[in-house]
Amino acid sequence: MFQDLARVKRFETHRQILETKLKKGEPVSPHVLKMIGLIENMSRLDQQFSQEMAIDTILHSLHSGYDQFKLNYSMNSLDKTLNELHGMLKTAEKTLKSDKQDVLMVRGGKFKKSGKKRNAKKGGNKASPTKQTGAKSVKRKVSQPTSESECFYCKKKGHWKRDCLKLKEDQKNGTVVPSSGTKKK
């Protein structure tokens, strides 16, 4: 009678071992501890798992996010205890969580280019970035000349060439060609 009870208990424990799977998003530590406990239950019920079989069973119960870990473990022929495997899986879980931050998501299924419209080169109006992308407008700071700023045209201090009254007057009179490099006639 006790043998039948032990056999049923072994069957239930073995079924739990095979059906226990780690789902994505769940922590690995409680899962591994549960698996170790089930494997230890089997040894108490006179059904020994070898160390290799126990590790293979735990690795098989992990989700696809641990595929790289499983590959590295088998390629390096690591011979670890269950507790060492538990520590390695906790470390691997930290790297999996840091990889999740690199996800790119596109909302609405539409892609909008920012910047100028296509017909802006043909003489059309330039589109403001706030209308196209919905982003906040960014205003550039325009620096102002200081009292020590020297004009490159008249060599006086307090203004820049673009604001020089003498340059504007000379351009108006026709003594200077209005271009990027100013030359006197």
Q: Which helix (H) or strand (E) holds 3?
A: helix 2-19
The verdict on 71 and 153 lying in the same domain is: no
The verdict on 80 and 151 lying in the same domain is: no
Residue 139 placed within a domain: no
The structural domain count of the chain equals 2
Give 92-142 as a DSSP string: HHHHHHHHGGG----STT-----S--GGGTTTPPPPPHHHHH-PPP-PPPP
**Alpha-carbon dihedral sign for residues 153, 158, 162, 167:** negative
Spell out, as residue ranges, where the chain has pLDDT lower than 70. Answer: 1-2, 98-138, 178-185
Look up the domain containing 11 and give its range. Answer: 2-99
β-bridge mates for residue 150, sequence order: 157
Last residue of a domain, one of 44, 71, 99: 99
Residue 11 placed within a domain: yes
Note the pLDDT tens digit of each residue in 124-152: 555 544 445 555 666 777 777 788 888 98
Question: What is the per-residue pLDDT for 130?
Answer: 47
The verdict on 150 and 95 lying in the same domain is: no
Residue 121 placed within a domain: no
